[in-house]
């Protein structure tokens, strides 16, 4: 099967495809991502997807076109500029689809593309696929339900023009485990990284109500027990939990010990004799589903 992975990044999709026996060509504009992609043995084209001459690939009979356009235009933590954001990659991806007409197309993006502000734009994308004679379905899937130690929710749009049915994967894990099919529980951060499963952690703010504050003046509600579900983490987030799956990783992936917050003025200089736990690049990769040696 000939596969193209557009907006391939460091190679998450390319690696998954390889694990099921498929080789892909990854295309990305970010040079550092391409270096990682290539270093792990994936075919790599350092190029802007919007400027690729797709006519060159028409004779290759591409059977699967995967696209993960930049999510920043639609991310809940971004500026919400959507189609007005110059990083919007959906038009470029549609040009690739129109030129190649592969039997199978899969697009992945943030759940924010389904929110009210951007839903009309997603609808336009679906309409174009319909006009190109594709059968289309979309769902928002939680990575934790498929064995990834992270509660990352992503939109998947699947389109086929080969007459075959679209089949969605069954859950392999559940939040609590058990259930009708006796599935194992979500894989936690503690499971994946060997961290302590006990206690509580958080990104706390100074208390606005002393009656609901910790002894050192931080908001009690910003701490979560390790047995609780992980909230979504963005650049403004205040909570991240060891025992549950990781939340979406932000650019500030610190995890604080119970009841303390590292000084913002002096990062790494801890309050009350403790230090912030910073997720390393390798740990973040493992939480994203990459092999430990990637």
What digits encode the pLDDT tens for the residues 217-240?
A: 767 666 655 443 333 444 444 445
- The DSSP H or E segment spanning 92 is helix 90-100
**Torsion (CA) 154, 61, 27, 13 in degrees, nearest 10:** 40
Which residues does the annotation mark as catalytic? 71
User: Who wins on pLDDT, 124 or 1?
Assistant: 124
- Max avg pLDDT among 79-93, 116-130, 232-246: 116-130
Alpha carbon distance 15, 247 (integer Å): 21
**CA angle at residue 157 from 151 to 160, to 5 degrees?**
140
- pLDDT of 200 higher than 90: no
Cβ neighbour number for residue 220 with a 10 Å cutoff: 14
Work out the burial of residue 252: count CB atoms within 10 Å of its CB; fewer than 13 is exposed, 13-18 middle, 19 or more buried. Answer: middle
Q: Which two tokens mark 263?
A: 């000084």
Rounded average pLDDT over 178-204: 75
Rounded average pLDDT over 71-84: 84
Alpha carbon distance 110, 75 (integer Å): 6
* pLDDT single digits (tens) 140-170: 999 999 998 888 899 999 999 999 999 999 9
Q: Which two tokens mark 123?
A: 């609808």
Cβ neighbour number for residue 14 with a 10 Å cutoff: 25
User: Who wins on pLDDT, 247 or 287?
Assistant: 287
pLDDT for the residue 190: 76
pTM: 0.81
The residue to which tokens 């502000």 are assigned:
117
Q: What is the mean pLDDT of the chain?
A: 82
Phi, psi of 281 (to 5 degrees): -60, -40
Phi, psi of 189 (to 5 degrees): -60, -40
- pLDDT of 37 higher than 60: yes
């Amino acid at each position: 099967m000939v596969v193209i992975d557009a907006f391939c990044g460091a190679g998450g999709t390319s690696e998954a495809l390889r694990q099921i026996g498929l080789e892909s060509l990854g295309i990305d504009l970010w040079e550092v991502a391409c270096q990682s992609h290539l270093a792990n043995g994936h075919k790599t084209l350092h190029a802007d997807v919007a400027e690729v001459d797709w006519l060159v690939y028409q004779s290759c009979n591409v059977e699967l076109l995967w696209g993960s356009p930049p999510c920043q235009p639609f991310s809940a933590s971004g500026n919400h500029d959507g189609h007005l954001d110059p990083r919007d990659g959906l038009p470029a991806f549609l040009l690739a689809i129109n030129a190649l007409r592969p039997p199978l197309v899969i697009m992945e993006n943030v759940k924010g593309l389904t929110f009210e502000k951007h839903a009309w734009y997603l609808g336009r994308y679906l309409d174009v696929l319909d006009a190109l004679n594709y059968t289309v379905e979309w769902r928002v899937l939680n990575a934790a339900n498929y064995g990834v130690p992270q509660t990352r929710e992503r939109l998947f749009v699947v389109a086929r023009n080969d007459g075959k049915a679209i089949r969605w994967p069954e859950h392999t894990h559940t939040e609590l485990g058990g259930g009708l099919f006796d599935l194992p529980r979500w894989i936690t951060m503690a499971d994946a990284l060997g961290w302590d499963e006990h206690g509580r952690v958080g990104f706390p703010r100074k208390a606005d109500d002393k009656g609901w504050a910790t002894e050192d003046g931080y908001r009690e509600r910003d701490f979560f027990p390790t047995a609780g579900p992980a909230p979504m983490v963005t650049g403004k987030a205040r909570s991240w939990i060891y025992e549950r799956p990781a939340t979406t990783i932000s650019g500030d992936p610190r995890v604080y010990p119970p009841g303390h917050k590292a000084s913002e003025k002096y990062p790494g200089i801890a309050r009350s004799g403790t230090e912030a736990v910073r997720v390393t690049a390798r740990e973040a990769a493992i939480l994203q589903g990459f092999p430990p040696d990637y």
